[in-house]
């Protein structure tokens, strides 16, 4: 009898769209081809074929990365967004701050005292 192994984690299984590729991969590969091939044919007349192929590869490489790269279940753009937030947007040293309940109550009592003194001064 034939034996087929099935993954226990069905969230890791991705639906295939065309030729065993997901919709995301198909879209990214299509965008890479739409940008790289015309550039190759335009540059082939000006420069040598190897230079045109190298420039085409450099233009298409980011699209391939967006199609295939995945880390911890996140696609490349989400991963890059997290890296940019950690490295550039958020402060390097984060101070630990607590919201002390007793300090909040003390400030509120101080505000009540100030309001009472202002109100009592207006009455007199």
For 40-71, the pLDDT digits (tens) are: 999 988 888 899 999 999 999 999 888 888 88
- Beta carbons of 68 and 25 less than 8 angstroms apart: yes
How would residue 12 be classed by pLDDT, with cut points 50, 70 and 90? low
Structural domain boundaries enclosing 22: 15-93
Total tally of structural domains belonging to the chain: 1
Question: Does pLDDT of 121 surpass 80?
Answer: yes
- The answer to whether position 21 is within a domain reads yes
Give mean pLDDT, residues 92-121: 88
- The answer to whether position 66 is within a domain reads yes
Q: What is the spatial distance between Cα 36 and Cα 34, in angstroms, rounded to a whole number?
A: 6
- The answer to whether position 88 is within a domain reads yes
pLDDT value, residue 110: 94
pLDDT value, residue 10: 62
């Amino acid at each position: 009898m034939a034996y087929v192994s099935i993954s226990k984690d069905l969230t890791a299984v991705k639906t295939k769209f065309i030729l065993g590729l997901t919709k995301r991969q198909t879209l990214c590969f299509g965008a890479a081809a739409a940008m790289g091939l015309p550039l190759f044919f335009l540059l082939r007349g000006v420069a040598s074929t190897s230079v045109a192929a190298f420039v085409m590869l450099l233009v298409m490489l980011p699209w391939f990365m967006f199609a295939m790269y995945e880390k911890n279940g996140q696609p490349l753009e989400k991963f890059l967004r997290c890296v940019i937030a950690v490295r550039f947007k958020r402060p390097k040293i984060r101070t630990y701050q607590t919201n002390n309940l007793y300090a909040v109550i003390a400030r509120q009592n101080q505000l009540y005292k100030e309001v009472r003194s202002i109100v009592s001064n207006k009455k007199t």
